[in-house]
Amino acid sequence: MGVLRPGALVLLTVGLGLGSATAHANPASVVPTIGDGPNALLRVDYEYEVDTSNIDREHVGDPGADPLAPLTRQHDLVFHQYKHTVTPRLDVGVYHDTWLSVALPIIVTQARELRLGSGVDRSESPSVLSGYIPESGFDAHDPLTPPPGDLLFRGGERHGLNQLHVGIGVAPMNQRRDDTKPTWKLGVEGRFAVGKIMRFDRLDPSGETGVSEGVHELRLWTTVDRKLGWVEPWFEASWQVPIALRSGSLYQDPGFGSTNAMPGQLATAKFGVEIFVVDDKETRNKISLDLSTRIVGHFEGRGYSEMWEVFAFAGDQRIDGNPLVLDANPLDTGLQALSHPGITNIENYLETAAHLTLAADLGRVRFALNADIMWKTDHAITFADGGIDRNNNGIVDAGTNEVNPVYAAPIDLVGHRYLSDGNLGVAIGIEGQFLF
What are the DSSP E strand ranges found in 226-284? 231-245, 266-280
DSSP state of 318: T
Of 16-30, 176-190, 297-311, 323-337, least confident by mean pLDDT is 16-30
Q: Look at the chain and report how many structural domains it folds into.
A: 1
Residue-range definition of the domain harbouring residue 75: 40-435
Greater confidence, 31 or 168?
Answer: 168
Query: Which whole number is the average pLDDT over 76-96?
Result: 97
Q: Does the pLDDT value for residue 311 go beyond 60?
A: yes
What is Dmax (Cα atoms) for the chain?
Answer: 79
Is position 35 within any domain? Answer: no
Is position 1 within any domain? Answer: no
Of 13-17, 167-171, 188-192, 235-239, least confident by mean pLDDT is 13-17
Q: From 44, 45, 74, select the one nearest 61 (Cα to Cα).
A: 74
pLDDT for the residue 35: 74
Neighbour-count burial of 83, counting CB atoms closer than 10 A to its CB (0-12 exposed, 13-18 middle, 19+ buried): buried
Q: Does the pLDDT value for residue 28 go beyond 70?
A: no
Q: Does the pLDDT value for residue 241 go beyond 90?
A: yes
Residue 405 CA neighbour count, 13 Å, CB half: 21
Is position 20 within any domain? Answer: no
Contact 326, 286 (CB under 8 A): no
Distance CA 392, CA 399 (A): 16
Is position 10 within any domain? Answer: no
What is the pLDDT confidence band of residue 31, given thresholds at 50, 70 and 90? Answer: confident
Q: Does the pLDDT value for residue 67 go beyond 50?
A: yes
Q: What's the pLDDT tens digit per position in 252-264?
A: 999 999 999 999 9
Is position 47 within any domain? Answer: yes
Is position 18 within any domain? Answer: no
CB atoms within 10 A of CB 258: 20
Is position 225 within any domain? Answer: yes
- For residue 231, the domain's CATH number is 2.40.160.40
Mean pLDDT, the chain, rounded, equals 92
Contact 386, 403 (CB under 8 A): yes
pTM: 0.92
pLDDT for the residue 436: 86
Q: From 287, 409, 248, 425, select the one nearest 353 (Cα to Cα).
A: 425
Is position 5 within any domain? Answer: no
Report the C-alpha dihedral over residues 21, 27, 32, 36, rounded to 10 degrees. -150
Distance CA 297, CA 379 (A): 12
Number of residues that make up the chain: 436
